[in-house]
Amino acid sequence: MATARNFAAAYGNLGWCEFLTGSIDEMIPLTEQAIRLSPRSPFIGVLYNRIGHARLLQSRTDEAIAWFKKALIARPAGFLKIVHLFLASGYALQGETELAASELAQARPLFKPDTFNITWVRTQMMYRPEPGPPPAIRALDDQTYFAGLRKAGMPEE
């Protein structure tokens, strides 16, 4: 980083590497720096979603939802369905069942019929390519993200 202190993508990618090695706390400032350096990046929605995911795993649900809303407004190409799912999970964890159901309803048409379930999301979206994040992150996903999706009413299979 010493030679490219203003290279936003480097900060974003380094932050993602931190996340994938289980260093959630280290990921957030790196990703925030990428956002500050390139606030009009076409990938800004992905960066917002990553911070929201980290905050959800930290059980900072209010903050997570705020980041997911920003991601949704940025409309990250190819990521809308996952942003809706993260929002559904966050709302469900807060007991906002109507908002959670609304987000699931918006996500459903973005999936093929046989893929709108937790098993598919876990194996084909969240942890692809293998090996994906470490067991500690997967455990946090189970306690937060997937628990929220269940509470929101997403089918298991």
CATH value at residue 31: 1.25.40.10
Q: pLDDT grade, residue 131 (50/70/90)?
A: confident
- What is the reported pLDDT for 48? 97
Whether 34 is in a domain gets the answer yes
Q: Give the chain's domain count.
A: 1
Mean pLDDT over each residue of the chain, to the nearest integer: 93
Whether 1 is in a domain gets the answer no
**Contact predicate 116/108, CB 8 Å:** yes
Shortest CA distance to 92 belongs to which of 143, 157, 139, 147? 147
- What is the reported pLDDT for 3? 56
Whether 44 is in a domain gets the answer yes
CA-CA-CA-CA torsion sign (112, 114, 116, 118):
negative
Whether 3 is in a domain gets the answer no
* Percent share of the chain, pLDDT over 90: 86
Q: Which residue has the tokens 């455990």?
A: 139
SS (H, E, C) 17-62: HHHHCCCHHHHHHHHHHHHHHCCCCCCHHHHHHHHHHHHHHCCCHH
Whether 141 is in a domain gets the answer yes
Neighbours of 47 (CB within 10 A): 27
| The two three-digit tokens of residue 150, written as one number | 């269940």
Whether 76 is in a domain gets the answer yes
Whether 93 is in a domain gets the answer yes
Whether 157 is in a domain gets the answer no
**pTM of the predicted protein model:** 0.94
Domain limits at 21?
8-152
Shortest CA distance to 154 belongs to which of 94, 79, 86? 86
Q: What mean pLDDT do residues 68-88 have?
A: 92
- Residues in the chain, total: 157
